[in-house]
Amino acid sequence: MHSTARAVIALAGAATLAACTAADTSSPRSASSAEAHEYPDTPYPSTYERYPGVPTAIVGATVYDGLGGQIDNGTVLFADGEVVAVGDASLAIPVGYTRIDGTGKFVTPGIIDIHSHLGDYPTPSVDAHSDGNEATDPTTPEVWAEHSIWPQDPGFSRALANGGVTALQILPGSANLMGGRSVTLKNVPSRTVQGMKFPGAPYSLKMACGENPKRVYGGRGRMPSTRMGNFAVNRETWIQAREYMAEEDPDRDLAMETLAGVLRGEILIQNHCYRADEMAQVLDMADEFGYRVSAFHHAVESYKIGDMLREHDVCSAVWADWYGFKMEAYDAIPENAALLYQAGACVVIHSDDENGIQRLNQEAAKAQADGARMGIQIADAQIIRWITFNAAKAMGIDRWTGSLEPGKMADVVLWNGDPLSVYSRPEMVWIDGATMYDMNNPQLRPVSDFELGQPGEGDTK
């Protein structure tokens, strides 16, 4: 497997990104020690290639580096798809760079949404497009979200233009305990899903606690119909996976391949879970079977167990202030993110929503303000980290994107004002150094096939 995985990534990398070569030596997949298979380890490989860009220097802007650093009157240099340098006004601009005046403006890394259903629940939201939940069995680790995604979902362009989103994880829904594999995308328009796939990004398995699985299956008179049923089905399935891994030459089994990938540490866990007590139980289940939860999603009660989450190094991917729409969201509070930060736990702001993904910066700003009002002061630059580097980390792509550091992908947003203000919007968005959106250029505003010839085609949206 080791060599096959390398070969696939190297093929994609050679033709595409310089940054992608990093995957050859440090892909999470390279940690695997499994023997070679007769089939490719990375089927449906990424065909994404970065678009042409010019060496660019953004000067005079307030720069948030995504890691918690802030540079006033900063300079950001990128070329050949990569960040070259980030510094203050004294940073020399090499010959041949196009200067962009960022005076009064702000620069952040590209915004990253760890929880999106763009493409698998696209708009128009008609039944024919409902491809997010394979709700025919409580455990479907065999399904892959990428096989549901419609690249023509107009939501991708809104997330780019209004939200500055440059990378996003598309998850299966939460009807099932084990909903299937996620896929991480570059937010570039493409004819194919493969043309959007983030090269080298690890897969994640979507899991779900609580109300949804027990309601969906209990309502059909089958297991699980209770929270204890949820855990029993999960544990039986992990036991099955261990048995599969112990077999010497097992038959192909898509479900077990995913679970074995989790247990080998190659596939991350993104776990939909609202209640604190359930998250604590899941942490024990992870210990029981030897896997790690990368992030709890929705996690409205994380503030009750910030200490445990810090100790287990598990991120909480949360909304700023959603509450009350279901029983397990009843104890949601707007100070959740700030309390987690205070406890030293990892915070990610997520959307789970085709509208919310357009305003992750605003959601983060609200969470900051709610914290400040209870005495938890968090610097602006740290807040930006919640929607950039921390998301990248919990998705396993932080070595390539999520911060403005030399050698990383030039995924960059220039905002026309403070991104934590309601009055600001993205002015320009670069993905791997290519200008994919420019507020001042209608030609640089993507329009999906679905929108052609329709009222409002090419509108500012």
Partner 1 sequence: MSARFLIGAALLALAAPATAQDMAITGATLATGDGSDPVENATLVVRGGRVVAAGAGVAVPAGMQAIDGRGMWVTPGIFASITNLGLVDVDAVSDSNDVDADDSPFSAALDVAPAINPAAQDMAISRAGGVTRATVTPGAGSSIFAGQGAVIDLGADFDAVTRRRAFQYVEMGERGARLAGGSRTSAHALLRNALREAGTYGEDAQLTGSTRNADVNTGDDVPLDPRLTGRAERDGDVLLTRFDAAALVPVVTGRQKLYVHVERAVDILSVLALREEFPRLDMVLIGATEGWMVADRIAASGVPVIAAALNDLPVSFEQLAATQSNVGRMVDAGVTVAIAGYGSSGDHPRGLPQQAGNMVALSRIPGATGLTWGEAFAAITSVPARIAGLGAGAGTLAAGARGDVVVWDGDPLELSSAPVRVFIDGIEQPLDNHQTRLRDRYRTLDESQLPPAYRH
Which stretches of the chain bind partner 1, using CB under 8 A?
123-126, 154-155, 158, 162, 211, 303-307, 319, 321-327, 329-335, 339, 343, 353-356, 358-359, 362, 365-366, 368-370, 372-374, 416-417, 420-425, 439-440, 442, 450-451, 454-456, 459-461
439 to 133, 281, 413, 426, 427: CA distances (angstroms): 35, 47, 11, 7, 5
Shortest gap between Cβ of 98 and partner 1 (angstroms)?
Answer: 20
Shortest gap between Cβ of 125 and partner 1 (angstroms)?
Answer: 5
Shortest gap between Cβ of 277 and partner 1 (angstroms)?
Answer: 13
| Shorter beta-carbon distance to partner 1: residue 123 or 240 | 123
> What are the phi and psi torsion angles at 323 (to 5°)?
-160, 155
| Shorter beta-carbon distance to partner 1: residue 22 or 135 | 135
| Shorter beta-carbon distance to partner 1: residue 129 or 264 | 129
Q: Say whether 53 sits in a helix, a strand or coil.
A: coil
How many CA within 13 A on the CB side of residue 185?
31
Please give the single-letter amino acid code of residue 310: R
| Shorter beta-carbon distance to partner 1: residue 264 or 445 | 445
| Shorter beta-carbon distance to partner 1: residue 52 or 324 | 324
Shortest gap between Cβ of 260 and partner 1 (angstroms)?
Answer: 35
Dist. CA 358–CA 157, nearest whole Å: 10
Buried b (16+ CB within 10 A) or exposed e, 376-396: bebebbbbbbbbbbbbbbbbb
Shortest gap between Cβ of 128 and partner 1 (angstroms)?
Answer: 12
Task: At 299, list the tokens.
Answer: 């996690």
| Shorter beta-carbon distance to partner 1: residue 344 or 406 | 344
Shortest gap between Cβ of 376 and partner 1 (angstroms)?
Answer: 9
| Shorter beta-carbon distance to partner 1: residue 240 or 424 | 424
Shortest gap between Cβ of 111 and partner 1 (angstroms)?
Answer: 16
Task: At 254, list the tokens.
Answer: 């898509």
Contacts with 262 (C-beta within 8 Å, 6 or more apart), sequence order? 205, 241, 268, 269, 291
Please give the single-letter amino acid code of residue 25: T
Dist. CA 99–CA 186, nearest whole Å: 25
Dist. CA 146–CA 95, nearest whole Å: 42
Helix (H) or strand (E) holding 155: helix 155-161
| Shorter beta-carbon distance to partner 1: residue 263 or 333 | 333
> What are the phi and psi torsion angles at 447 (to 5°)?
-125, 125
DSSP 102: -
Shortest gap between Cβ of 231 and partner 1 (angstroms)?
Answer: 22
